[in-house]
Amino acid sequence: MSEFSDNERKKAAKERHIELEKKTEITEHIVHEDEERMKEVLKEFDRESNTRHFQGIPNTIVKYMLVAFSIYTLWMNIFSSLPEQIRRASFIGVVIFMAYLLYPARKNTAKKINYVPWYDFLLGVVGGGCFFYYIANFQAIVARAGRSTQLDMIIGIIGILILMEICRRVVGIPILVVVTGFIIYAFFAGFSLRRVISHLFYTTEGVIGTPLGVCSTFIVLFILFGAFLDKTGVGRFFIEIANSIAGAATGGPAKVAVIASALQGMISGSSVANTVGSGSFTIPMMKKTGYPPEFAAAVEAAASTGGQIMPPIMGAAAFLMAEMTGVPYSNIVIAAILPATLYFTGIFLMVHFEAKKLGLNGLSKDEIPGFFSLMITRGYLLLPLFVLVYCMMNGFTSSMSAVYAIIAAITVSMFRKDTRMSFSSFLEALENGARNTLGVAVACSVAGIIVGVVTLTGLGIKLATGLLTLSGGVTIIALFFTMIACIVLGMGVPTTANYVIMATITAPIVIKLGIPMLAAHMFVFYFGIVADITPPVALAAYAGSAIAHSDPFKTGLTATRIAITAFIIPYIFAFNPDLLLIGGSIPQAIFTLITAFIGMVGISTGMEGYMNTPLKLYERVICFFGGIMLIIPGVVTDVVGIVLVLTMFALQTIKVRKTVRS
């Protein structure tokens, strides 16, 4: 009997083992399918992910070339004492060669394995060679002081044309159209071909100007930091933390998406990549809970896009803003806190009232990890972020702050076996960092052409004067025209290059209206970023719709509605910089935050048409108007807003009680 029982137990144990193996295989298959699906979506909507495929020896060669490029950038920023022109030219020269190696002229050719056509090799070598010609003849070019030779002109023209072609492949056509328009304007303004090429190619006012300078220093290091941080598993940790905080709440999965995307977005530097990365997990979860596909995709897109304005990192734009404005990094972080808080509060409340309207519940307790257990076991993964912010706040340069943060990321990964970084994953981080740098570097170098034309022709002042004339001197109309310009110029452009373009072209217009510099830069940055969710070119929304299998245009419109605060807040801090906590006291800041939060409740209920019960049209208008009044700092506006919102809340409470009694 005992022998029979032992055999039965062994048999049962074997069956359980087989069943567990089957479940593991199914799970791995699903994960693999999700990863493949994510890659396909990224290739469709994120040009930076649409690279060639290599296998075997060619793959090894490409991998170690990218690793070597990352090591070179580290050496250049930590140890090199080369002149700035040589550093920048060598950086973009290598970027162009690697970009032609990885990015095909057409999407369909990217599927071919180990295939790089001869003309891409030629373009890469010649394009990179143009910048190394500058390096080899640096002293002679400087000595000529703008008196360029015929060969200089030929090299400059070829270099700019090849750069523009790789920009088309990596970043897209919209920014290329803008750049072409600026170059044509330079000729119409009366400047000769020799003067234009000399200015754009051989000075630090053009291709190798400030945008590329900041990209080759702290932006590339920040991208490397993000690649190393990703290898520690911090992305998954963000999702689990968000799940533990909001998973059980009303409509929990959508709130999880908001929190996770805010955390992930601030370090990703790409709204589209963030949407696909976290959305592959959150969007199916939202749909399963009962959210419509368009709403699920829109929430993820809006939150992922908002991650770019989330302090303390803001997708590296905070460092860039400090560099371009001369405003201390700490001031920029403080100024960004309240607007970002209001943005995500608005999305969070939209999600909440949509869930109440649809009668959706949260996740079960079994599906939610414990917050404190997560923080105890994996909270150390946040230490590199604290190191980065601490260094920036205490006077370290942006470059060295990023270097120390990279060291911290490698160090904390060793704390546990499941996060420990092996030598192969260390190399993968260097490789991924280099890959992610290519698109940003190309965008920044092309943005340098825009900066160069503006400095050469004085176009910035002319644009500002023309816009003021067009608006009739009415500030609100001028700001509206600027908003439209920012959304158009920001279409499909990475966060850092996006900000460079806005800071160069549109920020001077806002400053000319008499708005403080920091408020002006924040204004144009916000509207440049929301281009990713604003139709017709709403790449983040379209990427989310591909995962949710929803209508892309409807998803874009829904994302715009959910992120409505992003279209309101910049106007408010443009007229009243108190919202940026500039010069105010702490009690005043707390009071502003409280009233603004109540205002967001009013705006959200007005947009969703639901508070405790469905709202009629006039009730929605009252809620929305009251919310706007509360967001605008001021005693009169606060009193009006509180009266309107609390009146609607009281009426809703009475209506609910009557419904219960009946």
Q: Residue 382's CB: how many other CB atoms inside 10 A?
A: 17
What pLDDT digit, counting tens, does each position of 297-346 carry? Answer: 999 999 888 888 888 778 778 878 888 888 888 888 888 888 888 888 88
Residue 26 has a pLDDT of 41
With contact defined as beta carbons under 8 Å apart, do 567 and 531 qualify?
Answer: no
With contact defined as beta carbons under 8 Å apart, do 201 and 159 qualify?
Answer: yes
Please tell me the least confidently modeled range out of 7-21, 490-504, 554-568.
7-21
With contact defined as beta carbons under 8 Å apart, do 611 and 353 qualify?
Answer: yes
Closest CA to 559 of 574, 576, 578, 539: 539
499 sits in which H/E element = helix 495-505
DSSP 610: B
Planar angle of CA 631, 529, 279, nearest 5 degrees: 100
What is the DSSP code string of 429-467?
Answer: HHHHHHHHHHHHHHHHHHHHHHHHHHHHHTHHHHHHHHH
Cα 399 to Cα 215, 243, 402, 403: the distances in Å are: 10, 34, 5, 6
Say whether pTM exceeds 0.85.
no
DSSP 83: -
Q: What are phi and psi of 361, to 5 degrees?
A: -105, 175
Q: How confident is the model at residue 180 (pLDDT cuts 50, 70, 90)?
A: very high
Please tell me the least confidently modeled range out of 35-44, 200-209, 425-434, 489-498.
35-44
Dist. CA 66–CA 353, nearest whole Å: 47
With contact defined as beta carbons under 8 Å apart, do 277 and 235 qualify?
Answer: yes
Q: What are phi and psi of 610, to 5 degrees?
A: -155, 135
What pLDDT digit, counting tens, does each position of 352-411 carry? Answer: 888 888 888 777 777 788 888 888 888 888 899 899 888 888 878 888 888 999 999 999
Q: How far is CA 618 from the centre of its chain?
A: 37
Dist. CA 659–CA 656, nearest whole Å: 5
